[in-house]
Each structure stands twice: as C-alpha cells, then as structure tokens.
C-alpha cells in the first residue's frame, strides 16, 4: 500500500478562513449574536485572552498531564499518525502535547521561570502562532487516547489537545467545519441542522416502512409519549443519511414488545462539544437530552450507535451540565443483549453469512470499556465473525474521530495515516466491517474508498435487524 507522503508544512501552515464566521455575524445568527459561539476578532489581543483562558482551565488532571511527561517516547510507538509517518517528528503525541505544555511552563510553572531553556518554555507571539497551534491540535490528532494507555507517566495527550481546542474555540481560531457544526448544534439542537419537520417526517416515514415490513399498518414510532420504559436517542446522521437504522431499531423494539418513545426535542445524543473542547456547548446539548427524559418520565435513556455520543451522554455530559444523574442510561447494545438473552427476540444467524469483523470505536472501547457486548451479539447474529488485531482498547482509530470528518482541509493527511487502519482491515479477510458508531461508519467508509478495499461497513443494528425473526403482531405496551 504505497501512499505518497504529504508535506506536513502544507498542513501546519493552513490559514485561518473565517468566511462562515463573517456570514454568521452578518446574518445575526442568535448563538453568535448572543456570544455563545465566538468569532475571530483580529483587532483584539488574542494571545493575552488565550493565556487568561488557560489559567482559568487549569485543574489537577490538566496540570498532571502538563508536568508529568518525561519524553520517554513510548507514546510514539502507538499513535497511528507516527506509525504511518515515522519520519515526521511532529506526529509524535509528546510533540503535540508539548505545544501547549511549553506555554504552560512559560507562564504558570516554576520550571519555566528558572530553567526555561531546559523545559523549552515558550509563548505564542501572535495570531499566526495561534493559527499554527490550531492546525496541530485540530489537524494532527483524533483524540483517540491510544497514546494515553501507553504512557507510563499517565499523561493524557488527548486531554491537552481537547483543552487547547477549547481555548482556541473561545477565540474563533478554528477550522471552518468546527465553526459550522457548532453553530448548527447551538441553533437546532443537533449537529446536522436537522429541522423539527425533517425529523418528524423521517419518523413517520420509518413508521410506515416498518409497519409494511411487519404487516401492521397501525405501527407507529411514538414521539413524546410519557411514562415509557425508555427514551431512544439517536445520531442526526441517522435522520439525514441513514434512516434505515432508525427503522431497524424500531423493528427490533416492536419484536421485543417494548414500550419506548423518541423525544421531539433533545433527541441528538451526539455532542460536538467533546470534539471542539467547548464545555458550554457540551452542557447545552447534554442538558436538552436529560431534560427531555425527565419531562417524559422515561425510566431509562437508550443511546443508539455512536462512540462520542455514548461517552458524552453517559458521563461527560453530566459534568459539563452539572446535572444530577437521576435517570440511568445504556447503549442500545445492552438493550439488545437483554432481548436476546431473555428470549424477547429470536435471531437467525444464517441470514448474515458474509465474513464480518468488528471495529471498536475509541470512545466506546478505550474510553468506555464496552468491548465484550458487541462481540456477544455478533457471535449470535452472524455465522463467520473474525477478530481484528489489535482489538478492544488497543484498536486503531477509524481516523474519523475527534470531529475529523468536519475538517476537510486535513483529509489528505487523514487518508495517509489511514493506511494503518486499512492494513488492519485487509488482514482480517472479512467482507464486512461492523462498528457501533455512525462517525466510524464514515471514517471507515472514507478509507475503504481511498484504499479501494473490497469491504462494506455495517452496524450491529443492521445485522440484528437482518437476522431478526419477526413475530406475529404484538400488543404494544
């Protein structure tokens, strides 16, 4: 798999392009006009603001990662950017962390005052330096945390990357895609700017499709139904590009005789705040969802297939929103396991006979420790399941993590480093790669097209729905 290596200077010197920011100001988009989403101001002292913000964000876990690195280099052995570009020192996780570490040392650490030359203390001088920092933290790291697991000192480079992203987001020094997706989520409550009409029409359409398939024209996906066993939350990509996955879930819930609903507002369990480092956006999105579940008196929140959505909804969101966790939540995988193990649904694995492997999403496996559940299901709904190596918490990122899919300017680098993942997929000999994340579907899809692999991406809900033995009409609870 020979891929021409791109010139990293072309990436690190990509200019700031605030066209969309200017448009949002002119159009008086509420989140911008009200200052919830910041735009770049060339007439302010951005370096000074950056340092003030950094000081306000220092806490024990951040300072630990700022001070503990001993530059042993072990993180460089596991990052897919380094493995794909071993000649390039800027790909090393410790180098990426050093870009914020040197600023911390210069301004907030005694080592920077006494021995600045020893600890490479330094400060950004102008907006050009800040822009370069933007290209490093948004363009050369997917926040996958593979390096975190390999660091003997407990340094979490992804935390430093997210922190730096968040500071730059407060100054509007961000890739255009990050600004646009943040704006959409602030304005519409979801990352893809899906309107309420679009959402409700899609649910109606899926109700009809499922009703036809199961031979029950009265079947309906309920919206805002109170006192259900769970409230189902999804990724907006499901409405925009893959409504089948909503239909698949609905068909399975029907077969299990489930009492469930979807909310009219607060249905997006993804959260761009995790990627942009904007805790305020993170809090807004997570709170929408928690409040919806509370209002509907749902007993549980069930989270559809999404890596960063799972992480944001299940634990990060409660911290960002300072919200008490009084309604439990679970991945739809746990729901499916309950159905299969309790005999509430019947599955026929012979319906999925192609060789299938499994890609662990970083946020679910490495950060969430949910690794055995998808395998438990796959071994029951497919006839030829094959492990990919390495796997579970050691798996490689799909290369679309950390919001990378929204930043088109970094795609050439992303595709180059994707050769590590592509080789992992080829080695399995599988014809299908299953994942439990819509973001990974697109990340894997990009690299499958780029490297012309003979493989398709599927999700657990697709395979379970395909293997489902649909029962006679059930009485809905």
Nearer Cβ to ligand SF4, position 141 or 448? 141
Query: For residue 237, what are its two tokens?
Result: 């990509």
Distance of closest approach, residue 35 Cβ to ligand SF4, in angstroms: 31
Per-residue H/E/C for 339-359: HHHCCCCCECHHHCCCCEEEE
Give the list of residues 6+ apart from residue 151 with CB closer than 8 angstroms, or none.
Answer: 69, 74, 75, 157
Nearest-angstrom CA–CA distance, 159 and 141: 11
Nearer Cβ to ligand SF4, position 120 or 338? 120
Q: For the chain, how many helices (H) and strands (E)? A: 27, 8
Nearer Cβ to ligand SF4, position 141 or 269? 141
Q: Which residues bind ligand SF4 (CB under 6 A)?
A: 69-75, 78-79, 81, 93-94, 96-97, 141-147, 151, 153, 155, 157-158
What Å distances lie between residue 373 and 97, 315, 342, CA to CA?
33, 19, 15
Distance of closest approach, residue 81 Cβ to ligand SF4, in angstroms: 5
Specify the length of the chain in residues.
Answer: 477
Answer yes or no: are the C-beta atoms of 375 and 336 closer than 8 Å.
no
Nearer Cβ to ligand SF4, position 25 or 72? 72
Beta bridge partners of 458: 434
Nearest-angstrom CA–CA distance, 303 and 268: 9
Under DSSP, is residue 20 helix (H, G, I), strand (E, B) or coil? helix
Burial class (CB in 10 A: 0-12, 13-18, 19+), 264: middle
Distance of closest approach, residue 400 Cβ to ligand SF4, in angstroms: 12
Nearer Cβ to ligand SF4, position 351 or 392? 392
Angle at 258 between CA 252 and CA 261, to 5 degrees: 95
Chain center to CA of 269: 10
Among 382, 392, 457, smallest CA distance to 425 is for: 457
Nearer Cβ to ligand SF4, position 289 or 362? 362
Strand order in the sheet with 230-233: 260-261, 230-233, 300-303, 328-331
Nearer Cβ to ligand SF4, position 362 or 460? 362
The half-sphere exposure of 159 on its side-chain side, counting CA atoms within 13 A, is: 18
- State the Rg of the chain over Cα: 23
Distance of closest approach, residue 278 Cβ to ligand SF4, in angstroms: 19
Distance of closest approach, residue 70 Cβ to ligand SF4, in angstroms: 5
Distance of closest approach, residue 154 Cβ to ligand SF4, in angstroms: 8
Under DSSP, is residue 469 helix (H, G, I), strand (E, B) or coil? coil
Nearer Cβ to ligand SF4, position 78 or 340? 78
Nearest-angstrom CA–CA distance, 320 and 288: 12
Beta bridge partners of 261: 231
Distance of closest approach, residue 134 Cβ to ligand SF4, in angstroms: 15
Distance of closest approach, residue 437 Cβ to ligand SF4, in angstroms: 16
Contacts 24+ apart (CB under 8 A), 119-126: 123/47, 123/51, 124/47, 124/50, 125/47, 126/47
Nearer Cβ to ligand SF4, position 283 or 413? 413
Answer yes or no: are the C-beta atoms of 390 and 396 closer than 8 Å.
yes
Distance of closest approach, residue 428 Cβ to ligand SF4, in angstroms: 22
Nearer Cβ to ligand SF4, position 101 or 106? 101
Query: For residue 41, what are its two tokens?
Result: 């101001």
Nearest-angstrom CA–CA distance, 401 and 235: 15
Nearer Cβ to ligand SF4, position 169 or 329? 169
Distance of closest approach, residue 175 Cβ to ligand SF4, in angstroms: 16
Nearer Cβ to ligand SF4, position 25 or 149? 149
Distance of closest approach, residue 258 Cβ to ligand SF4, in angstroms: 37
Handedness of CA 384, 388, 392, 396 (dihedral sign): negative
Q: Which helix (H) or strand (E) segment is 471 a member of?
A: none
Nearer Cβ to ligand SF4, position 151 or 345? 151
């Amino acid at each position: 798999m020979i891929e021409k290596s791109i010139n990293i200077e072309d990436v690190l010197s990509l200019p700031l392009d605030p066209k969309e920011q200017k448009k949002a100001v002119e159009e008086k988009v509420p989140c911008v006009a009200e200052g919830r989403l910041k735009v770049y101001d060339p007439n302010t002292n951005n370096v000074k603001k950056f340092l003030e913000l950094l000081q306000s964000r220092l806490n024990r876990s951040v300072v630990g990662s700022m001070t503990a690195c001993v530059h042993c280099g072990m993180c460089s052995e596991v990052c897919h950017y380094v493995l794909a570009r071993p000649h390039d020192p800027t790909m090393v996780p410790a180098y990426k962390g050093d870009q914020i570490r040197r600023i911390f040392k210069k301004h907030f650490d005694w080592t920077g005052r006494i021995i600045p030359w020893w600890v490479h203390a330094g400060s950004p001088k102008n907006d050009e330096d800040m822009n370069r920092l933007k290209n490093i933290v948004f363009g050369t790291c997917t926040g996958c945390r593979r390096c975190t697991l390999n660091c003997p000192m407990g340094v979490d480079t992804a935390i430093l990357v997210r922190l730096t992203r968040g500071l730059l987001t407060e100054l509007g020094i961000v890739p255009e895609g990050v600004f646009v997706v943040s704006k959409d989520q602030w304005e519409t409550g979801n990352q893809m700017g899906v309107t309420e009409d679009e959402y409700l029409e899609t649910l109606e359409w899926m109700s009809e499709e499922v009703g036809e398939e199961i031979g029950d024209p009265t079947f309906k996906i309920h919206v805002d139904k109170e006192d259900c066993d769970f409230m189902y939350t999804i990724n907006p990509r499901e409405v925009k590009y893959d409504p089948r996955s909503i239909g698949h879930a609905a068909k399975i819930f029907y077969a299990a005789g489930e009492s469930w609903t979807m909310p009219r507002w607060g249905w997006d369990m993804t959260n761009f705040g995790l990627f942009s480092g904007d805790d305020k956006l993170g809090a807004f999105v997570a709170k929408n969802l928690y409040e919806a579940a509370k209002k509907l008196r749902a007993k549980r929140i069930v989270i559809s297939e999404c890596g960063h959505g799972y992480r944001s909804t299940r634990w990060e969101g409660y911290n960002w929103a300072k919200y008490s966790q009084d309604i439990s939540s679970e991945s739809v995988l746990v729901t499916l396991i309950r159905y299969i193990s309790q005999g509430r649904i019947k599955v026929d694995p012979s319906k999925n006979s192609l060789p299938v492997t499994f890609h662990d999403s970083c946020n679910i496996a490495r950060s969430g420790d949910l690794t055995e559940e998808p395998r438990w299901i796959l071994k029951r709904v497919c006839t030829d399941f094959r492990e990919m190596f390495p796997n579970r918490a050691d798996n490689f990122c799909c290369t679309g993590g950390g919001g990378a899919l929204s930043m088109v300017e970094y795609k050439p680098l992303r595709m180059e480093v994707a050769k590590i993942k592509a080789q992992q997929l080829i080695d399995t000999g599988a014809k299908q790669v299953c994942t439990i994340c819509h973001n990974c579907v697109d990340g894997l899809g990009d690299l499958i097209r780029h490297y012309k692999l003979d493989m398709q991406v599927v999700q657990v809900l697709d395979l379970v729905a395909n293997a489902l033995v649909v029962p006679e009409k059930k009485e809905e609870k």
